[in-house]
Amino acid sequence: MSSKKSNGVVPGEEAMPINEDDTEYKKLYELPTMRYSNIVILIVTVDTIVSIALWVTGGNTKYFVDNITDFHLTESVFDLALVAASKMIFYVTVLAFLETFSFRQIDKPYDFALIQKIKVLHVTLIVFSLLVFGFTVTKGGFVLYKFINDSSYTKMHAEYNALVISAVCFSLIEFIASVFSFGAMRTLKVIRITRRFNDQGVEIDKEGKTILKKVSLQRLFLLAKPEWGFIAGGTIALVGSSGSQMAAPLFFGKVVDAAQTDMEQENCVTDWPLTHSFTECSNQQDCGTDWPLFYQIGNAATLSPLLHYNPLQGECLGWVNISMLVRYIFQLVGSLGFMFYLNAALTGVLLAVVPFVSISAVRYGKFVQKMQKKFQDKLGDAGTVAEETLSSVRTVRSFSGEAKTVNNYGKEINESGFQGLIGLLAQGAIALCLWYGGKLVYDEAHGKHTGLTPGVLTSFLLYTLQVAMAFALMSSLYGDFMSALGASTRIFGLLERTPGIQNENGMVPAQLTGRVQFKNVCFTYPSRPESEVLKSICFTVEPGEMVALVGPSGGGKSTIVNMIERFYDPSEGTIYLDDYDLKELDPQWFRKKISMVSQEPTLFACSIKENIAFGVNADISEVEAAAKQANAHEFIQTFEKGYDTLVGERGVRLSGGQKQRIAIARALIMNPKLLLLDEATSALDAESEHLVQEAIDRAMKSRTVIVIAHRLSTVRNASKVIVIDKGSIAENGTHDELIAKGGVYKKLVLRQLTAGNRSEPINDTNEDSS
Ligand SMILES: Nc1ncnc2c1ncn2[C@@H]1O[C@H](COP(=O)(O)OP(=O)(O)OP(=O)(O)O)[C@@H](O)[C@H]1O
């Protein structure tokens, strides 16, 4: 790993030396996807696709061939298609270099050779786009001139007209974009994202947390491998249903045309033209009757993976969303295809104005949003202003302030007017399409062959609507989709994490006596590496002994208990169970020999019986025996459903004392060699406390017990008391020995005795024992 990486880079720090290697550079920085060069490349790509589609779809073969062999500026558009294709290659190449050099220059502000290269690229970009714009405008001008003045001019038909219009629009946008390239490249410094790495070379965020690798779509789809059969079937049906749905506007258009013809020819309004034509064209298309069927199959098959829905994996919503996304993509692409098929010229014009409409829509949307907020803010002030103005009308008059007041008002109006102009542009773009469509229909009706009948225009407008709807719905689904991807990143991150402590494999000794030994155990929680929680802990618990851990809160008692369960491994030292290093034993095996009862036990949302028998396969008589030992049997009997009573989420339907007794029964049924106990400090009523205590006392018999003790009675009975303070063993001995010693332990006990309450916890939370 390079030293640069391991040091990490803080955004906004001094420029760092970067070597010439671009791959190294890319490891250190990245750029957001939505940025100048990508947006320009997207626009140029759309431009190229539209241009080539219009060129290819326009005219018959001869015309198409003549266009190349017999090139003429005002009659051929082959040049425009060629320019569009070369433009794409040019922009992709130049922008890639420009961005790389400008990116590198941020950290090399005095590299004059680099600056020179960047300047040349900027100038080339602007000159090239200006030349293209000049060329398209000139060509457009000539064509328009011919169109207006030469009545015999027929060579350039509708698709090619559309191509000229689209070429002028796009080249204007691209020219404007190229002028902004200087500014855009300067923003790279602000928008670049600095990547940071830790000492292991793993990428981290500002707070030092590991950044999870992005989940690829491929990986997400692989998750659904078991459902592939259904998905394939669903997709086929989906394509069928979307396809037939997409054919609908085509039929509607035909109905419109057929209705007109029939009515004109037969002069009959009440005849059956609509029904007839609809059936006829349905039959002609050969899929009309299949359409609803396909649609239903599609829906059914799309839903079929739901039958295999696995609630744990939460696939259901994801699949419905994906199927909708696929449907909308089909709808979008298919409708555009149909639109080109119906009238490529009109589609071309429509696509050419899309950038204008989008930009206007975004600006208009922002404007509306801003105005709405302003409106709300101003509404509050309005009353005051109105009142002030009216009541102060004399003051305004006396200072001749009318002009100023009106001027202020006028400024607002001007701003609105400017924004309105943008809105007008959007409306204008749509009007242009309608005008052009109408003109083509008119031409068709008056002998010129444009191929656009009223029916075709109807279909076309319906398709436009479908495209718009698919686009709008897709963008909202895209958000869901991305958040699903984001969520799966987290899930995959968790799945990828290999646990430091494997849950299986290891030694399985024939028997266990229950002896525990800590030898120089040191421990630091990985999430808090700066503070050592346990410092060289040494103690031994002999089989059958009851050892009490006491001490101030945060001293490390629970940590010790958790380490016996091997939830964590010591950073230094060894923990022995009998004579075996805990690390060598099979965790699944030794955890069955250890039972733990915590202060606030976790119960599962199932029946009492299932909770008690959680760790073993036990029959009801064994469950009852354990419950009796734990003083739980009686209260369970009082429930209507007895052992089948459901305890609710985390046992919410039981009282604190009842939960503890069930947890004790759950520990006892395992017949553990070693019992780990965290005595409850929570206040129980006297009766409950007595029952719990009795159960605990019974549970402690004939096994090794390590108890985090909070009660004097417990420590008195303990064979040994270990006082843990600030991660170390402060004192160690029997109750009497420690009292005699007069140290930390005595202080803890005295506090309790002076409080005059035997049941008060002896581990004071705020105690500073030092
Ligand atoms: N998962 C964890 N990650 C980081 N630090 C932890 C974690 N669990 C506990 N600690 C810290 O370790 C120290 C010892 O905590 P521990 O819970 O072992 O103390 P305790 O003596 O059992 O306290 P109490 O009597 O209040 O339960 C505390 O400073 C605590 O903040």
Please determine, for residue 715, whether its predicted confidence score (pLDDT) is greater than 50. Answer: yes
Q: Which residues of 321-347 are buried (b: 16+ CB within 10 A; e: fewer)?
A: ebbbbbbbebbbebbbebbbebbbbbb
Which atom of ligand 1 approaches the CA of 560 most closely?
A: 18
Which atom of ligand 1 approaches the CA of 678 most closely?
A: 27
Confidence label for 575 from pLDDT (cuts 50, 70 and 90) = very high
Please determine, for residue 608, whether its predicted confidence score (pLDDT) is greater than 80. Answer: yes
Span of 39-48, 214-223, 244-253, 366-375 with lowest mean pLDDT: 366-375
For the chain, report the end-to-end CA distance as a whole number of angstroms: 45
More confident residue, 658 or 9: 658
Check residue 286 and give its pLDDT: 37
Residues 480 and 528 in one domain: no
Which atom of ligand 1 approaches the CA of 556 most closely?
A: 18
Confidence label for 573 from pLDDT (cuts 50, 70 and 90) = very high
In the block, tokens 């002999």 appear at: 542
Which atom of ligand 1 approaches the CA of 528 most closely?
A: 4
720, 732 in Cβ contact below 8 A? yes
Ligand 1: distance of its center to the CA of 754 in Å? 28
Structural domain harbouring 546: 522-755
Report the distance separating Cα 402 and Cα 399, nearest Å. Answer: 8
Check residue 35 and give its pLDDT: 85
Check residue 407 and give its pLDDT: 53
More confident residue, 218 or 278: 218
Q: How many Cα atoms are found within 13 Å in the side-chain-facing hemisphere of 339?
A: 26
Q: Whose CA is nearest to atom 26 of ligand 1?
A: 553
Check residue 21 and give its pLDDT: 52
Report the distance separating Cα 568 and Cα 562, nearest Å. Answer: 7
Ligand 1: distance of its center to the CA of 706 in Å? 17
Check residue 415 and give its pLDDT: 47
Check residue 373 and give its pLDDT: 53
The residue-averaged pLDDT of 689-706 equals 79
Confidence label for 520 from pLDDT (cuts 50, 70 and 90) = very high
Confidence label for 196 from pLDDT (cuts 50, 70 and 90) = confident
**Residue 662 lies inside a defined structural domain of this protein:** yes
Q: Which of the given ranges, 228-237, 450-459, 471-480, has the highest pLDDT on average? A: 450-459
Q: Can you give the three-state secondary structure of 667-696, one letter per residue?
A: HHCCCCCEEEEECCCCCCCHHHHHHHHHHH
Report the distance separating Cα 452 and Cα 442, nearest Å. Answer: 8
Confidence label for 64 from pLDDT (cuts 50, 70 and 90) = low
Which atom of ligand 1 approaches the CA of 551 most closely?
A: 21
Confidence label for 282 from pLDDT (cuts 50, 70 and 90) = very low
Sign of CA dihedral 21, 26, 31, 33: positive
Which atom of ligand 1 approaches the CA of 561 most closely?
A: 18
Domain count, the chain: 3
- 150-163 pLDDT, tens digit per residue, is 776 665 667 777 88
Sign of CA dihedral 659, 665, 670, 672: positive
**Residue 508 lies inside a defined structural domain of this protein:** no
Residues 487 and 553 in one domain: no
The residue-averaged pLDDT of 284-312 equals 39
Residues 57 and 177 in one domain: yes
Residues 292 and 422 in one domain: yes
Question: Domain ends where: 479, 495, 511?
Answer: 495
Ligand 1: distance of its center to the CA of 221 in Å? 42
Ligand 1: distance of its center to the CA of 596 in Å? 17
Residues 182 and 249 in one domain: no
Ligand 1: distance of its center to the CA of 588 in Å? 25
Please determine, for residue 545, whether its predicted confidence score (pLDDT) is greater than 50. Answer: yes
- Residue 295 belongs to what H/E stretch? helix 290-303
Please determine, for residue 517, whether its predicted confidence score (pLDDT) is greater than 90. Answer: yes
Confidence label for 18 from pLDDT (cuts 50, 70 and 90) = very low
Please determine, for residue 189, whether its predicted confidence score (pLDDT) is greater than 60. Answer: yes
528, 701 in Cβ contact below 8 A? no
211 — alpha (psi -120 to 50), left (phi > 0) or beta?
A: beta
Question: Domain ends where: 191, 218, 248?
Answer: 191
Check residue 362 and give its pLDDT: 56
Q: Whose CA is nearest to atom 29 of ligand 1?
A: 554
**Residue 360 lies inside a defined structural domain of this protein:** no
Please determine, for residue 419, whether its predicted confidence score (pLDDT) is greater than 60. Answer: no
Is the interface score ipTM higher than 0.90? yes
Check residue 587 and give its pLDDT: 85
- 635-647 pLDDT, tens digit per residue, is 899 988 888 888 8
The residue-averaged pLDDT of 535-552 equals 90
Residues 109 and 172 in one domain: yes
Q: For ligand 1, pick from 523, 524, 525 the residue to mutate: most ligand atoms within 8 Å of CB.
A: 525
Ligand 1: distance of its center to the CA of 554 in Å? 5
Which atom of ligand 1 approaches the CA of 559 most closely?
A: 18
Structure tokens of 238? 């989906």
**At 740, is the secondary structure helix, strand, or coil?**
helix
Residues 487 and 533 in one domain: no
In sequence order, what E strands does 413-533 have? 516-523
Q: How many CB atoms lie within 10 A of CB 419?
A: 17
Please determine, for residue 531, whether its predicted confidence score (pLDDT) is greater than 70. Answer: yes
Please determine, for residue 188, whether its predicted confidence score (pLDDT) is greater than 70. Answer: yes
Q: Return phi, psi of residue 58, to 5°.
A: -80, 135
Please determine, for residue 576, whether its predicted confidence score (pLDDT) is greater than 90. Answer: yes
Check residue 74 and give its pLDDT: 73
**Residue 487 lies inside a defined structural domain of this protein:** yes
Residues 102 and 55 in one domain: yes
What single-letter DSSP state applies at residue 757?
Answer: -
Q: Whose CA is nearest to atom 24 of ligand 1?
A: 553
**Residue 536 lies inside a defined structural domain of this protein:** yes
Check residue 244 and give its pLDDT: 74
Ligand 1: distance of its center to the CA of 377 in Å? 50
Q: Which residues of 604-627 are buried (b: 16+ CB within 10 A; e: fewer)?
A: eeebbbbbbbbeeebeeeebbebb
Question: Domain ends where: 191, 221, 240?
Answer: 191
Ligand 1: distance of its center to the CA of 353 in Å? 64
Span of 128-137, 237-246, 478-487 with lowest mean pLDDT: 478-487
> Which residues does 71 contact at the CB level (< 8 Å), separation at least 6?
78, 79
The residue-averaged pLDDT of 64-82 equals 73
- 625-635 pLDDT, tens digit per residue, is 989 888 889 88
742-747: list long-range contacts, CB under 8 Å, 24+ apart.
744/551, 744/769, 745/550, 745/721
Ligand 1: distance of its center to the CA of 738 in Å? 25
**At 352, is the secondary structure helix, strand, or coil?**
helix
Structure tokens of 568? 């964590």
The residue-averaged pLDDT of 342-348 equals 78
Ligand 1: distance of its center to the CA of 56 in Å? 73
CA–CA–CA angle 500, 505, 507 (5° rounding): 115
**Residue 4 lies inside a defined structural domain of this protein:** no
Q: Whose CA is nearest to atom 17 of ligand 1?
A: 558
Report the distance separating Cα 33 and Cα 524, nearest Å. Answer: 41
Summary count for the chain: helices (H), strands (E): 27, 14
Ligand 1: distance of its center to the CA of 557 in Å? 8
Q: Can you give the three-state secondary structure of 63-126, one letter per residue?
A: HHHHHHHCCCCCCCCHHHHHHHHHHHHHHHHHHHHHHHHHHHHHCCCCCHHHHHHHHHHHHHHH
Ligand 1: distance of its center to the CA of 533 in Å? 8
Report the distance separating Cα 573 and Cα 727, nearest Å. Answer: 14
Q: How many CB atoms lie within 10 A of CB 717?
A: 15
Confidence label for 413 from pLDDT (cuts 50, 70 and 90) = very low
Which atom of ligand 1 approaches the CA of 555 most closely?
A: 21
Q: How many CB atoms lie within 10 A of CB 63?
A: 14
Ligand 1: distance of its center to the CA of 14 in Å? 40
Residues 45 and 125 in one domain: yes
Q: What is the CATH number of the domain that holds 635?
A: 3.40.50.300
Q: For ligand 1, pick from 549, 559, 728 the residue to mutate: most ligand atoms within 8 Å of CB.
A: 559
Confidence label for 442 from pLDDT (cuts 50, 70 and 90) = confident
Q: Whose CA is nearest to atom 14 of ligand 1?
A: 556
Q: What is the DSSP string of 434-454?
A: HHHHHHHHHHHHTT------H
Check residue 275 and give its pLDDT: 43
The residue-averaged pLDDT of 51-67 equals 68
**Residue 167 lies inside a defined structural domain of this protein:** yes
Ligand 1: distance of its center to the CA of 559 in Å? 6
Residues 425 and 322 in one domain: yes
Q: Whose CA is nearest to atom 5 of ligand 1?
A: 525
Q: How far is CA 312 from CA 287, 308, 309, 315, 489, in A?
A: 41, 12, 9, 8, 17
Check residue 316 and give its pLDDT: 39
Structure tokens of 141? 């001008």
Check residue 523 and give its pLDDT: 93
540, 751 in Cβ contact below 8 A? no
Q: Whose CA is nearest to atom 2 of ligand 1?
A: 525
**Residue 6 lies inside a defined structural domain of this protein:** no
Report the distance separating Cα 28 and Cα 187, nearest Å. Answer: 18
Check residue 423 and give its pLDDT: 52
Q: How far is CA 638 from CA 633, 655, 684, in A?
A: 9, 14, 20
Q: Which of the given ranges, 86-100, 609-623, 647-661, 662-676, has the highest pLDDT on average? A: 86-100
Q: Whose CA is nearest to atom 12 of ligand 1?
A: 533
Ligand 1: distance of its center to the CA of 525 in Å? 9
Confidence label for 268 from pLDDT (cuts 50, 70 and 90) = very low
More confident residue, 609 or 12: 609
Q: What percent of the chain has pLDDT over 90?
A: 13
Q: Are strands 516-523 and 534-541 parallel, antiparallel or unpaired?
A: antiparallel
Please determine, for residue 425, whether its predicted confidence score (pLDDT) is greater than 80. Answer: no
Q: Whose CA is nearest to atom 25 of ligand 1?
A: 553
Q: What percent of the chain has pLDDT over 70?
A: 64
More confident residue, 608 or 357: 608
In sequence order, what E strands does 480-569 have? 516-523, 534-541, 546-550
Residues 475 and 574 in one domain: no
Check residue 360 and give its pLDDT: 57
| Mean pLDDT, all residues of the chain | 73
Which atom of ligand 1 approaches the CA of 549 most closely?
A: 21
Confidence label for 748 from pLDDT (cuts 50, 70 and 90) = confident
Confidence label for 405 from pLDDT (cuts 50, 70 and 90) = very low
Residues with CB under 6 A from ligand 1: 525, 527-528, 533, 553-559, 763
- 83-139 pLDDT, tens digit per residue, is 998 999 999 999 999 998 998 888 888 888 989 999 999 999 999 999 999 999 998
Q: For ligand 1, pick from 523, 524, 535, 557 the residue to mutate: most ligand atoms within 8 Å of CB.
A: 557
Report the distance separating Cα 255 and Cα 273, nearest Å. Answer: 8
Q: For ligand 1, pick from 527, 531, 535, 558 the residue to mutate: most ligand atoms within 8 Å of CB.
A: 558
159, 54 in Cβ contact below 8 A? yes
Residues 650 and 751 in one domain: yes
Ligand 1: distance of its center to the CA of 696 in Å? 24
